[in-house]
Chain A
């Protein structure tokens, strides 16, 4: 197991480096001068030259990349020349709030979707199943920004039950201290994810319910609750675990729309704005973080398989 984990971590480094090379090259494919884009049309040649020199842009591309990679290895993700702040501090500042918002939504979504999916499977093609399927299709086909705007229109502007913004506090403690403001953004992300996860869970549980070991358990007189919890739920979770793994990078990025609509600054929106405004250090720095999270999420999912299914072994 340890060897497997080490190999996967080594692969992770290669994957992350590959992603950064790709992003780095794509950035430099844009024609024109980056310094001109940043400094504006009035910038003099001397000013542009000084900017290029200060940011290492006057050096060959290969050298620029290796300088960046060297800084990353030393824990330095770069400095935003638009936001006047280090990328490290941006990530450190924004990631905890993202984790609270999107992490809460993910946990809630699983807490709702897993029993819902199992219940649908058990009552397949009955009223509950049809109703839940209909709602899931409706929510899944609804973009999260649309859902967010509807919730704000109805519950913040219409009846003033909740504020239209997410908490505006700068610290995680401050965010948690304003639970009313968390309701709408978390509800937006949760509802969309419930729709997705419950469909996976239902499908998996339907397959599991048809397995011989479930029939055997029932024929042995095991209470239905025990059959569902011990045999159906555990075995059905294997496929959903993949989703969990892939959801970890989503914690960092999928909140973009919610960040946009609910005025909640986070990594997703920061990355988007960096891409639009040619803030290369921020783009590259967040690419590294999200790349690492993606590989880590995938690795955690693989390890979880082994926990859920004793037949799975990594050598």
Chain B
């Protein structure tokens, strides 16, 4: 899903101050040379090696993203609180999802680390059977099939409170579910689905919940194995349980002491959480997974801005959040996008640098239903011409500090994944102003470089501008983008300048992330809300929590994420095929879909930014996860 609406709170100020940080350090002689190789800002791309002797113990300090403290613990989380800080940096540390995604940096399920064994599909892929490994909750109960059903019951009764809910999707597509025995769950589906799609997009949403949570008040005794008529087994009861748990989750300060949240099956227990967002975890000694924590403590530190985090990195020490000493360094941090050019200075300080790219694609959006420019944007030749003006490699070099990957289609070639076809790393519309000009001229436009290109041959025939475009109509657009991201600033200004060379006028409108989220939305041509023309969120579509790179949530007609109002029957048919085709034909269906979308341009592709992660010199075991999860249970210090 798109995480752009979760832009760091305070992102706007970060741009201004981030630039100043750069200037100040330039003045102080601290700015180092930058790397500009596309896809790398000088960091390694895999796990770090351990030159010293691994030791058990120690405290690892992890830098949270600015102004996004972990503030919701209950895994059944609604959209307004669906942030990485809550899901990846809090909930999954405490409550293990059924399947752990991101095997050693790839996009695959890591079955050895998952509670569930590989699901078995039968009856023409209409029945899924899942067996569970032997995991324990910290209260001694076994993680059982009943815990999976508990989740499904809550979801069915409270679907609108689940951030990942798509009408018709999970759990609507489960006609009934039952526990065959204590460790086996069987789901009967309402149709035959592509097993890969169902596993990666639907079963990915399941987090078993402990029996101890199946209650409606703290005063009531915690249920135990063998209890019958538990509240979750009826829709009304499941709603009451949700209301109770959601209510408990509103008292953030109580999380460490609340008897509900202290029942975990993950690798960690939460022992401290301040209002500002300093979260302290210690190992869950009852953790059943194979990767037992080696650290003695794991602390997440809040920051008011990326600039503040960077200053702490450069100073080499942090005050470490409440309760820690002033000599604590950030063990795992990040380099703000404005400061990527200083990566060499960080390396000289002893930090290890790692490039982290999520499994995502990036783009900016045309509004096909805009009453003024919609007819132009609906012309395929125009979208091709416009895409030719996007200088992805140049942008990565000039504005992303080398920390970006070009996007050529809806299934990225990187990070490593089995889905991208052979063409995923080939740009069908390479940067070329002459190519853009030729396309416009060939379709009836009078191209005026540095002026305003106008339609000289209106009509729908060959060599004419196309349906709905009037004679003399000019190519001018307003492009809305969020403030606070230096690479977006630079690339949009570059696009404006290049477009001018073929007489396309782009008025740039820099607004807050909140305004972007409020404005760029699907709409009908007659609505006032349909006045936006081109827009971008500032970040891309991350395949999380739906991990299969099919397009039913963004490119299918009427999809919730289809804010550009794109509609193409051929694309729709190919998208449906990716979700319904059996395993044998699944990749062929995915190839057909990604080829169609890559060439069709339902939006304009732009580079996907990465994150440059800093690791203290003696911390090891960190592997960038393709979906943004962290696994501090695999981290360790060395004494070398």
- Give residues in A with beta carbon < 8 Å to B: 30-34, 36-44, 46-47, 50-51, 81-85, 89-90, 93, 145-146, 149-150, 152-154, 156-158, 160, 163-171, 174, 178, 180-181, 257, 259-265, 269, 272-273, 275-278
Contact = CB atoms under 8 A, between A and B. Distances in A.
Contacts of A146: 20, 24
Given A42-B79, A157-B314, A181-B326, A33 B518 contact: yes
Given A33-B518, A83-B71, A260-B305, A40 B312 contact: no
B79 A265 contact: no
B1 A42 contact: yes
B28 A47 contact: no
Contact of B312 (A34, A150, A165): A165
Interface residues of B, number: 77
B165 interface: yes
A174 B308 CA distance: 20
A146 B1 CA distance: 38
A277 B303 CA distance: 17
A181 to B, nearest CB: 6
Given A260-B304, A269-B10, A31 B519 contact: yes
A168 B311 CA distance: 15
Contacts of A84: 71-72, 81, 249-250, 252
B322 A170 contact: yes
Given A46-B167, A157-B30, 4 more contacts: A32-B515, A32-B519, A153-B28, A164-B317
Contact of B80 (A38, A160, A260): A38
Given A42-B166, A150-B24, A170-B322, A156 B518 contact: no
B80 A261 contact: no
A146 B16 CA distance: 11
B517 A153 contact: no
A98 B584 CA distance: 62
B452 interface: no
B548 interface: no
Contacts of A277: 9, 512-514
Given A85-B275, A93-B275, A265 B302 contact: yes
Contacts of A273: 9-10, 67
Which 5 A-B residue pairings sit nearest by Cβ, starting from the closest? A278-B514, A32-B518, A37-B518, A263-B308, A39-B79
Nearest to B531: A31
28 contacts: A30-B518, A31-B519, A32-B529, A33-B518, A42-B1, A44-B560, A47-B78, A50-B160, A50-B161, A84-B72, A84-B250, A84-B252, A149-B311, A153-B25, A160-B316, A164-B317, A168-B278, A168-B324, A170-B276, A180-B326, A181-B326, A263-B309, A269-B304, A276-B11, A276-B513, A277-B9, A277-B513, A278-B518
Given A38-B80, A150-B24, A262 B315 contact: no
Contacts of B278: 168, 170
B71 A44 contact: no
Contacts of B312: 164-165, 263
A47 B315 contact: no
Contacts of A89: 275
Given A158-B28, A168-B322, A163 B561 contact: no
B166 A44 contact: yes
A168 B320 contact: yes
B595 interface: no
Contacts of B167: 44, 46
Nearest to A256: B13
A11 B142 CA distance: 64
B390 interface: no
Given A263-B303, A273-B67, A164 B165 contact: no
A149 B2 contact: no
A225 to B, nearest CB: 43
Contacts of A157: 28, 30, 311, 314-315
Contacts of A32: 515, 518-519, 521, 529
B326 A149 contact: no
Given A153-B30, A178-B319, A42 B515 contact: no
Contacts of B561: 41-42
B515 A30 contact: yes
Interface in B467-526: 512-515, 517-522
A269 B167 CA distance: 38
Nearest to B563: A41
A261 B71 contact: no
A145 B20 contact: yes
Nearest to B21: A149
B219 interface: no
Interface string B57-91: 00000000001010110000011111000000000
Contacts of B20: 145-146, 149
Most buried by A among B78, B80, B163, B563: B80
Contacts of B250: 84
B521 A33 contact: yes
B12 interface: yes
A86 B300 CA distance: 23
B13 A41 contact: no
A32 B535 CA distance: 14
Contacts of B79: 38-40, 42-43, 47
A185 to B, nearest CB: 11
A44 B165 contact: yes
B27 to A, nearest CB: 8
Nearest to B318: A165
Contact of A145 (B17, B323, B515): B17
Contacts of B422: none
A38 B83 CA distance: 12
B5 interface: yes
Given A42-B553, A163-B317, A276 B9 contact: yes
Contact of A156 (B161, B315, B512, B515): B315
A277 B512 CA distance: 7
Nearest to B365: A41
Interface string B148-190: 0000000000001101011100000000000000000000000
B307 interface: yes
Given A46-B160, A85-B252, A273-B67, A263 B305 contact: yes
B528 interface: yes
A44 B307 contact: no
Interface string B248-266: 0110100000000000000
